[in-house]
Amino acid sequence: MSFEYRPFDEKHDVDAFSTAVAEAFAADAKRVPEWIKMAHPKNLRIAELDGEVAGTCLYAPMGQFFGGKSLSMLGVAGVSVRPEFRGCGVGKRMMSAAVLEMAAMGIPLSTLYPSTMPLYQTVGYEMAGYQPEFEFSFDHLPVARMSAVKKAGLQVTPGGEADHEEIRQLYRQVARTQNGMLDRDVYIWQRIFKPRDQVGRIYCVRETQSGKLRGYVILTQTNEPDLPDWHQLNLICMQAADVDAWQAVFAFLRSYQSMARRVKVNVGANHPLYLAMPEQRSNMKMFECWMMRILSVPAALEGRGYPLGMSAVLHFDIADDLIAANHGKWILQLTNGRAKLSAGGKGDLKISIRNLAPLFSGHVNAELLAQSGRLQAEHAIQAVASSIFAGSTPWMPDMF
């Protein structure tokens, strides 16, 4: 059987792509062209087997923050294999081709949400962070009052398209402090500003005198079967620059409690909302794990941020069966938090490209990887590696 992995042809592939996506994700094929337009046809890929469309794939260009720095990243989504071609190895061949193509673009990282993990593990992806889901009732919100917000010189006002650029800038300012957060591109922001099948509303926290943006909330309201006569408040995205702005956000959210009974938001335990909760009576879960693939060892290790002032040396021996340029021994030299990578060295720390991903992101430290048989190094080397990649637990609120 002949296999080809190629760019999407907007003139000829729309129907086949739409059908494949609809079959895989139980979607309405008539709505897939809208998604194609939003994602941009140039980012779509087709896998053919003997001249027939057998699978699909989508690249979502963006960035991802690690150690306070944004690295270029290609999100992978829309991975599907037509039912009649399943079990023929199309998925692995398609993802192998995708990894090689992305690496050839010079992109350091690729991240995705897996429908099945083994497929992606075979081409070098591994769990590297998570998307949390947080639900709570309004009486668990931090106590905050609008009167105090006004005294702080702030106000909450409805927002719109004119506020989008300021919102993006504030998000990026705050997101860089959390490992794993996306440096969002147009594709992700479109999904935030215009939630599918829901009415999204924007509210801005601004300084009363200057009008400077200090925080924002983007939300939707939905009726849920288990909340008769009431509704659920869904926080699509929210950020604040400081404690006063967060108090304004909390006070604003409390104003919905006369008609809403529950709040749902994708934030984790290392978020200002959770840290401000007066009691641990909310429901938090690890909703989805995302996987990451390091496409370029030099670009990833030199581009990531590290603890300021840290100086250390780590000798890697990295196994990558797919991307030859990553395979072999490397020396990571940190000088006052600045990284330089060079080929060679002693190879004190042996690790596969797949298991390098959770170490790199800070999702799993070196000691735990060693205990799991995923890393081989002496205890002192493990401790150095854990210190180098230490940081906040990697997570993101976004699904793609």
Residue pLDDT, tens place only, 208-253: 999 999 999 999 999 999 999 899 999 999 999 999 999 999 999 9
Answer for the pair 70, 64: CB distance below 8 angstroms, yes or no: yes
Total-model pTM: 0.95
pLDDT under 70 in the chain at which residues?
A: none
pLDDT of amino acid 106? 97
Determine the 3-state secondary structure of 392 from DSSP.
Answer: coil
Other beta carbons less than 10 A from residue 208's beta carbon: 13
What domains are defined for the chain?
3-124 (3.40.630.30), 133-288 (3.40.630.30), 296-388 (3.30.1050.10)
C-alpha to C-alpha distance for 12 and 244, rounded to whole angstroms: 54
The pLDDT tens digits of the residues spanning 365-375 come to: 999 999 999 99
* pLDDT for 350: 98
Whole-number CA gyration radius for the chain = 23
Q: Which pLDDT belongs to residue 154?
A: 98
Pick from 365, 395, 399: nearest CA to 129: 395
**Which two three-digit tokens encode residue 312?**
């250390």
Phi-psi map region of 149: left, alpha, beta (phi>0 left; psi -120 to 50 alpha): alpha
Whole-number pLDDT of residue 285: 82
Q: At what angle do helices 14-25 and 32-39 cross, to 10 degrees?
A: 110
Q: What is the pLDDT of residue 279?
A: 84
Give Cα separations from 363 to 174, 181, 214, 270, 371 (angstroms).
Answer: 20, 13, 30, 14, 15
Output the six-digit token pair for 303: 């581009």
- In degrees rounded to 5, what are phi and psi of residue 356? -70, -30
Pair 54, 48: CB distance under 8 Å:
yes
d(CA 231, CA 324): 54
> For residue 114, what pLDDT is reported?
97
Q: Cα–Cα–Cα angle for 207, 69, 162, nearest 5°?
A: 35
Concatenate the DSSP letters of all residues of 366-386 into one string.
HHHHHHTTSEE--HHHHHHHH
Q: Which long-range contacts (C-beta less than 8 Å, at least 24 apart) are formed by 97-100?
A: 97/5, 97/47, 98/5, 98/45, 98/57, 98/59, 99/123, 99/124, 99/293, 99/295, 99/322, 99/323, 100/322, 100/323
* Per-residue burial over 191-207, b = 16 or more CB atoms within 10 Å of its CB, e = otherwise: bbbebeeeebebbbbbe
Predicted local distance difference test score (pLDDT) of residue 284: 83
